Amino acid sequence: MSYRIYNGTQLLGDVNNKSTGINGLLPATSYQFGVSNYDGNRESLKTTINVKTRGIRLIIPTSLTVNSIITLNYQEYSLGLVPIGTEPANMFGGGNKRNIQAKVISVDNGKSTVELLEPLESSSTVSLGGTNLLKGTSRDLQQKSTTNDWVRSPYNTDFFRSIYPLDNFTAKVWIEKPNKDSWLQAYIGGNGLFKGNVIKAGQSGYSEVHGTLNNNTTNANLVIGAGDGVSVSLSWKELKLEKGTIATDWSPAPEDTQYIVDDTQMNKLQDGSFAAFNGYRAIYFRQ
């Protein structure tokens, strides 16, 4: 017996456990989730629940009134954030401007935590599974060639130290037609060497790794390759690292889908206003 999980009428997938996680939800957004029993042939009626996610929270280094509603100003391509001439037409100095309402949740030591009452994003990729801990991954194939035996990812010692402790982790990547037998491998110094299943030369498939992570992490890295000291050429996509022992479908890291990351601290500007930036996006608070 398995369980089918729905977002409205959209089937997200089947799970065997009585608990699961759902990725890609927008902040401050209402959803209706459904669950049904499924034995491979017949499906029961869905049981549904309506939920609303909380909004993104920002920290403003000033004391505001708890439970009050404030107005934030969102805009893209603010003056000084991007080089002149690289912004879209008619957006010099700021485009896509709009006001965002936020509620003051708490005040502590002169810092106010405020929660946005609406989402900044316009779309989401709702999916089952654990949160992807790796920023900057993609569904798009990335072609890599190297004169040594490994294609090295940017996820190394500093990254792994930033996410411990993690009793169990699972990493997975799609490898496309390597010229040598290749696999995903995690070396976590002080924890061990964790090697995924091999993808044969000229074939394609997922290589999956399971391991543990603690504070003895030294000289860590996450790599894809042949491990035989020769040059390797391959394409890869859908790299994901998540908590637990079950590999789930690829989803982007929350930081890759949010305009402004949760718990960002706004900085005070020379004119007395406060601002948070993410690439070409900015959100301001002016008292």
Contact, 170 vs 256, CB < 8 A? no
Q: Please report the pLDDT score of residue 236 as a whole number.
A: 92
Q: Please report the pLDDT score of residue 145 as a whole number.
A: 85
Pairing of strands 232-243, 281-285: unpaired
Q: Please report the pLDDT score of residue 87 as a whole number.
A: 64
47 contacts: CB under 8 Å, gap ≥ 6: 34, 35, 36
Contact, 99 vs 72, CB < 8 A? yes
State pTM to two decimals: 0.70
Q: What is the pLDDT along the chain (287 residues), one digit of tens a residue?
A: 789 999 999 998 888 888 888 888 889 999 999 999 998 889 999 999 999 999 999 999 999 999 999 999 998 887 777 666 666 676 677 778 899 999 999 999 999 999 999 998 877 778 888 889 998 899 999 888 888 888 888 888 888 888 877 778 999 999 999 999 999 999 988 888 999 999 999 999 999 999 988 877 788 889 999 988 888 999 999 999 998 888 888 888 887 877 888 999 999 998 999 999 887 888 999 98
Q: In the structure encoding, which two tokens stand for residue 117, read together? A: 């009452």
Q: In the structure encoding, which two tokens stand for residue 38, read together? A: 């499924």
CA distance 99 to 230: 56
Q: In the structure encoding, which two tokens stand for residue 187, read together? A: 């070396």
Q: Please report the pLDDT score of residue 84 as a whole number.
A: 64
DSSP H stretches of helix in 106-190: 157-163
What one-character DSSP code corresponds to residue 39? -
The residue type of 197 is: N
Q: In the structure encoding, which two tokens stand for residue 62, read together? A: 């000033």
Q: Please report the pLDDT score of residue 90 as a whole number.
A: 67
